[in-house]
Amino acid sequence: MVVGSRFLDFLVAAVLACAALVPAAAPAEAAGQVCVLACDTLDPSLARQESFPVPDKNLNGRRLELHVSDADDMAWASIDEGVTGDSVWLDRSWDGGATWEGLLGKASIPGTWTGTRTLMYNVTDPRGHRRGLVRACGDAAAVGCTDWTYPTVCDVLCDRTDAARAAGDDQPVPSTTLYGRTIRLHFDQRNAMAWASVESGAGGDEIWLDRSWDGGSTWPDGSSLGRTAVPGGATGTRTVMYATRDPRGLLYGGAVRACGRAAGHQEGSCTTWARPAPTRPRAAADALMSAYDPYNGWWPSSWWNSAATLTALVDFAGTTGTHDYDWVVARTYAQNKGVFAAGVRSSDAIEGHFISRSIDDSGWWAIAWIDAYDYTGDSRYLDEAVTIAGYIQQYWDPGTCGGGVWWDRERTYKNAVTNGQYLWLATALHQRLPGDTVWLQRARTAAAWYRSSGLIGSSGLVNDGLTASCANNGGTVWSYNQGLAIGAFTELWRTTGDDSLLTTARTLADAALSSPALTRDGVLTESCDLGTASCDDNQKQFKGVFMRNFADLARATGSAAYRSYVQKQADTLWAQDRSALNSLGERWAGAPPNQTDWRTQAGALAALTAAAG
């Protein structure tokens, strides 16, 4: 069959016209489901907000709209004033719009209707450390899309702010050199902004920033930010500033590096990655939040550690007045108050209300919810703490060793951590429940038992627990056991005015400061911090518990020695145990081998918060 040239010309013109209407870049591979505060494909009727951050698109007379709920971190698309068969969908890009997942939630206008909408999809993915862009697209005898939403990151200041507006110029990492050029990374620490500069260069040299949301492992949406060339006749230049936090997208702790290229050469050079430190505690908190899983509402994968970490985060917020992470409290509660099979949250089954066979695990959550109640005033958190404490109370057993709470449901061990928690909780509930007498009496009984139980050794150090014959077992002196006892006796003294309780707290504190079992060269040190030893996931967080409770005693007494000790820990770990990414390890004196993860980060945050308070 022979086709006439005029018809061929028509076909070519039609193809080119259609191509001009289709976005230029190729779609990325099929989308995987993203879960943030909810999972992709949530119905828009459940959206908590609705905004229109980009202009509508007129598509052959149809109105194409992008809808966003910042409260849900989700978006959906709609098409109106259309006809049967018109369709609408979302595109989502993880690399600044270069490629995208296309046709998300594609929906077509059914017969007799004039419009339709998609389901909702997440805009960003903090769980996967990815910042996304979305746009609404439609097909109504032609394909068209709205602009991408939120291409600019905004915190205190927004991307592309002039560096002349910086509140200070700090250079957190060494510069790098390239063919005689010097490339520097600069921070406005107060506003968590960054820029790059090049010196001793020539016209045509280029400078830029890379930005990563996963500590420098990837940077698909943050490559070559602010790329700037040195003008002819000049020897240097700088970029504009870029933000390192995206609160709207629930992305905190962004890392940046400065990179450059010399004119006439293809290769470039970059500084190391770094994160800003607006304040010590906020720097620690931002880095800690990069490990939080907002969908499941915890720090995977440790159950009690997540409770203690939430406590550290709430203490930070309450002490510094920083409200960036207030949503984490409600999210953690909502996602974890139910029932979980063994292996999902813990090796034990979670039976609802944060309760399991491990009595001390339950206790950590009760402490966290009391702290959350104090911070938010939301009574559901206090109610939760009462429920958990009531469960723990069932395991107070005067029939063995004259009293004390069992460590587990099987009643195999009476130890310091569970009983330190119980004394603190009983006192805290009395302080917060109007007209209470029951919990006060329980606290008095628990304090008397603790002091006579043998848990406190002759040197004033708390050993791990009791033997089957109810004697001190000589077990390891862990900082969290010492700290819980200090905090519990301090709180009960505040409530009762019984000076003997404060004397006990001070005796425990003085022993911790003077004994090499807990303090070496003035620095809080676990036995697993020594030599080539390593701490397990539980032990990594013990020192943070100590610092929270020790700082309470320092405030109660006004002791200069205690305050000095608190400050010493913060100064030491900041100077010797911090990376350029504000990662904080287990060994606060910084000696290798040092372990670093979100548990050690939370422990260090507690120390920095204590000093800030």
Q: Percentage of the chain with pLDDT > 70?
A: 95
CA angle (583 as vertex; 577, 585 as ends), nearest 5: 45
First and final C-alpha spacing in the chain? 86
Which amino acid makes up residue 422?
Y
Residue 210 is predicted with a pLDDT of: 98
Structure tokens at 583: 């990662």
Alpha-carbon distance values, 66 to 117, 118, 120, 125 (Å): 10, 10, 11, 19
Sign of the Cα torsion 515, 521, 526, 528 reads negative
Q: Which residues contact 451 (CB under 8 A, 6 or more apart)?
A: 504
Please say if the pLDDT value at position 546 is more than 90. Answer: yes
pLDDT band at 14 (very low <50, low <70, confident <90, very high): very low
Q: Give the separation between CA 463 and CA 481, rounded to whole angstroms.
A: 8
Q: Give the separation between CA 285 and CA 292, rounded to whole angstroms.
A: 11
Which amino acid makes up residue 437?
T
SS (H, E, C) 83-110: CCCCEEEEEEECCCCCCEEEEEEEEECC
Please say if the pLDDT value at position 5 is more than 50. Answer: no
Please say if the pLDDT value at position 592 is more than 90. Answer: yes
CA angle (329 as vertex; 327, 331 as ends), nearest 5: 70
CA angle (613 as vertex; 603, 562 as ends), nearest 5: 80
Whose tokens are 């400065």? That residue is: 258
Query: Could you tell me if 205 and 263 are in contact, meaning their C-beta atoms sit under 8 angstroms apart?
Result: yes
What are the b/e assignments for 130-158, b being 16+ CB within 10 Å? bbbbbbbbbbbeeebbbebbbeebebebe
Indicate the average pLDDT of the chain. 94
May I ask the CATH class of domain 280-611? mainly alpha
Please say if the pLDDT value at position 136 is more than 80. Answer: yes
Fold (topology level) of 163-270: Immunoglobulin-like (2.60.40)
Q: What is the pTM of this model?
A: 0.93
Query: Could you tell me if 261 and 270 are in contact, meaning their C-beta atoms sit under 8 angstroms apart?
Result: no
Instruction: Compute CA 350 distance to the chain's CA centroid, rounded to the nearest angstrom.
Output: 23
Q: Give the separation between CA 482 and CA 517, rounded to whole angstroms.
A: 11
Q: Give the separation between CA 454 and CA 470, rounded to whole angstroms.
A: 8
Instruction: Compute CA 211 distance to the chain's CA centroid, rounded to the nearest angstrom.
Output: 18
Please say if the pLDDT value at position 20 is more than 60. Answer: no
Residue 15 is predicted with a pLDDT of: 33
Query: What angle separates helix 499-514 from helix 542-557, to the nearest 10 degrees?
Result: 130
Query: Could you tell me if 346 and 352 are in contact, meaning their C-beta atoms sit under 8 angstroms apart?
Result: no
Better-predicted residue by pLDDT, 12 or 35: 35
Please say if the pLDDT value at position 2 is more than 80. Answer: no
Residue 21 is predicted with a pLDDT of: 34
The two domains 27-145 and 280-611 share their CATH topology (first three levels equal): no
- pLDDT tens sequence across 286-301: 999 999 999 999 999 9
Domain 27-145, architecture per CATH = Single Sheet (2.20)
DSSP 103-156: EEEEEEPPTT-S-EE--BEES-BGGGTB--EEEEEEESSSEEE-PPS--S-BSS
Residue 27 is predicted with a pLDDT of: 52
Average pLDDT over residues 340-350: 97
Average pLDDT over residues 79-87: 97
Residue 30 is predicted with a pLDDT of: 60
Please say if the pLDDT value at position 380 is more than 80. Answer: yes
SS3 label, residue 378: coil
Q: Give the separation between CA 272 and CA 51, rounded to whole angstroms.
A: 39
Query: Could you tell me if 438 and 446 are in contact, meaning their C-beta atoms sit under 8 angstroms apart?
Result: no
DSSP 546-571: HHHHHHHHHHHH--HHHHHHHHHHHH
Query: Could you tell me if 291 and 601 are in contact, meaning their C-beta atoms sit under 8 angstroms apart?
Result: yes
Query: Could you tell me if 115 and 81 are in contact, meaning their C-beta atoms sit under 8 angstroms apart?
Result: yes
In DSSP terms, which residues pair with 130 in a beta bridge? Answer: 125
Please count the other Cβ atoms lying within 10 Å of the Cβ belonging to residue 233: 7
What does the domain layout of the chain look like in residue ranges?
27-145, 163-270, 280-611
